[in-house]
Amino acid sequence: MERRTIFPGWTLPALLLLPQLVISFIFFYWPAAQAIWSSLTREDPFGLSAQFVGLENFADLFADPLYVATIWRTLFFCAAVAALSLGIALLLASFADREIRARGFYRTMLIWPYAIASAMAAVLWILLLHPQIGMLGRALVRAGLNWDYQLNGAQALLMVIIASAWKQISYNFIFLLAGLQSIPKTVIEAARMDGAKGFHRFRTIILPLLMPTVYFLVVVNLVYAAFDAFGTIWALTQGGPGKSTETLVVKVYRDGVVNLDLGSSAAQSVVLMAGVILLTALQFRFLGKKTTS
């Protein structure tokens, strides 16, 4: 929508935009361009000269079975986190939307965890699931399970999934509840007049109307799991044991910052960039749907 009246002049708006544009250029566009450039070049072992090698770095990357395994692991991790987190949040939101006593209290109790940092989620779950000190962890050990996420890869992966999904429930809950509340009461009443009851009503009327919000959240959750869950994973397992909880972002951090393998790190960065562009494009497709519905 275009405004009917505007302020005249262009120097003032240029000045207003300047700080944001300068920061965006220095810390976003310039480094991103650098990443793309170095993903296409290879430095000699002494770092004295760089040579253009085209897509060779990418070819190397995808020829590395470890990298391909990390891609699959990341996809699994993201899907599991999104599904678990959204599922629980949907369950809670649909009950919190009911006309029950103390619902304000329940809502507050489910909203505050929004404030938990992903690294803090890891700390809290360690306190619960640590095999020696955690209450749940000790219970699992006593139950005869060989519970130790520091040694068992599958258990470690399960734990980072749980902690990451747990942290994201609150965010999903807020959006799903808002989505449920924006469904017109009259539509629900019409469905009741038509005789739709309970779960059937939820599945045939409410859920379809909620789908734009759900699609939007699926993308947000995938982005969250792919990128922001780094804090949880790094604090919990640092990608281990072995590589069993290493996602793409953990790997790019480890290869670039810890192991200083710049060429591979740049190529990995560009792969991630492609991923995030794809996800953002998806997100705005669903946003469009959400606003038009």
Sign of torsion, CA 158 176 230 125?
negative
Q: Interface with other proteins includes 50 (CB under 8 A)?
A: no
Sole window of 28-36, 52-60, 145-153, 187-195 interacting with other proteins (rule: CB under 8 A): 28-36
- Report the candidate in 194, 7, 210, 193 with the shortest Cα–Cα distance to residue 94: 210
Cβ atoms of 118 and 225 closer than 8 Å: no
* Among positions 55, 66, 68, 135, the unique one binding other proteins when judged by CB under 8 A: 135
Q: Facing residues of 51 across strands?
A: 42
d(CA 37, CA 56): 13
CA distance 102 to 123: 30
Interacting residues with other proteins between 104 and 123 (CB under 8 A): 106, 108-120, 122-123
Residue 42, strand partner residues: 51
Q: Tell whether residue 151 is a contact of other proteins (CB under 8 A).
A: no
In the complex, minimum distance from the CB of residue 85 to other proteins, in angstroms, rounded to a whole number: 12
Considering only 31, 54, 87, 242, the residue that binds other proteins (CB under 8 A) is 31
Residue selected from 74, 225, 230, 237 as contacting other proteins according to rule CB under 8 A: 230
Size, binding site for other proteins by CB under 8 A: 95
The answer to whether 158 contacts other proteins (rule: CB under 8 A) is no
Query: Does 72 engage in binding with other proteins (CB under 8 A)?
Result: no
**Distance of closest approach, residue 30 Cβ to other proteins, in angstroms:** 6
Are 232 and 167 spatial neighbours (Cβ–Cβ below 8 Å)?
yes
What part of residues 239-258 is at the interface with other proteins (CB under 8 A)?
A: 249, 252-253, 256-257
Measured over all CA atoms, what is the biggest interatomic distance in the chain, rounded to whole angstroms? 77
201 binds other proteins (CB under 8 A): no
Does the CA dihedral 237-238-243-245 come out positive or negative?
Answer: positive
Shortest approach of other proteins to residue 100 CB, angstroms? 5
